Amino acid sequence: MLDFLVHLDQHLMTLVADHGVWVYAMVFAVIFCETGLIVMPFLPGDSLLFITGAIAGSGHLSVWMAGSAIATAAIAGDNLNYWIGRRYGTRLFNERSRWLRREHLAQTEAFYVRHGGKMVMLARFVPFVRTFAPFVAGIGHMPWPVFAGFSVLGALLWTGVVVSLGYFLGNVPFLRDHLEVIILGVAGVMILPVIHRLLRRRRT
């Protein structure tokens, strides 16, 4: 079952043929768990969105229903992960820990005050990081309204970009084979203005 979930993107077309509209629920569940459960960053994310978009482009799924399910799952998972981090994450920081000391918690809180919004939004485009960023935002006590706003924005951008790539370009072999690199490139382009601003501030 675990192997099936990890490689759900490879079985999606068969599932569409066998289970029809239940595929929307399956995709929702996988994206929700990948985003909302800190122990499941290995579940498919970008590839699942891309394949879902490609199948929708071939007419076997509704791109609007698929996109709505994915975006809703991403937002709900983000918020679950945030509140788990806020409620229980600070217990990881204590003076007996070699790596997670109280001063590290203070540094985390300070970082999320300055850069939390950008981190939450851009992390959505980076595998594994998108699973941990909401949890750390909760640990850093990032104000929930601010977190929620950037979470929604990041989820909508991520869903729109990756599903659209699959919908319009799903049959392009190069894009399909190098998807993760392309998504990281998109994230890099988005974060360049932030890096430029930080470097300019440091220089000043």
CA distance 11 to 8: 5
On whether the CB atoms of residues 13 and 55 are closer than 8 A, the answer is yes
On whether the CB atoms of residues 34 and 41 are closer than 8 A, the answer is yes
pTM: 0.77
pLDDT tens digits, residue range 110-135?
Answer: 666 666 677 788 888 888 888 888 88
pLDDT tens digits, residue range 11-49?
Answer: 677 777 777 788 898 899 999 999 998 888 888 888 888
On whether the CB atoms of residues 183 and 125 are closer than 8 A, the answer is yes
Q: Return the closest-CA partner of residue 167 out of 67, 23, 56.
A: 56
Query: Domain extents for the chain?
Result: 2-203
pLDDT of residue 115: 63
**Single-letter residue type at 34:** E
The secondary element (H helix, E strand) that includes residue 74 is helix 63-88
CA distances from 26 to 21, 47, 82, 85, 183 (A): 9, 15, 23, 25, 23
Whether residue 156 is predicted with pLDDT greater than 70 in this model: the reply is: yes
CA distances from 57 to 25, 38, 41, 130 (A): 19, 32, 27, 26
DSSP state of 61: S
Whether residue 175 is predicted with pLDDT greater than 50 in this model: the reply is: yes
pLDDT tens digits, residue range 56-105?
Answer: 888 888 899 999 999 999 999 999 999 988 888 766 655 555 544 555 45
70 C-beta neighbours (distance < 10 Å), count: 28
Can you state the angle between helices 22-36 and 63-88, rounded to 10 degrees?
30
On whether the CB atoms of residues 154 and 121 are closer than 8 A, the answer is yes
pLDDT of residue 60: 83
pLDDT of residue 16: 73
CA distance 95 to 102: 7
Whether residue 4 is predicted with pLDDT greater than 70 in this model: the reply is: no
Higher-confidence residue of 187 and 140: namely 140
184 C-beta neighbours (distance < 10 Å), count: 14
CA distances from 135 to 89, 94, 113 (A): 8, 18, 15
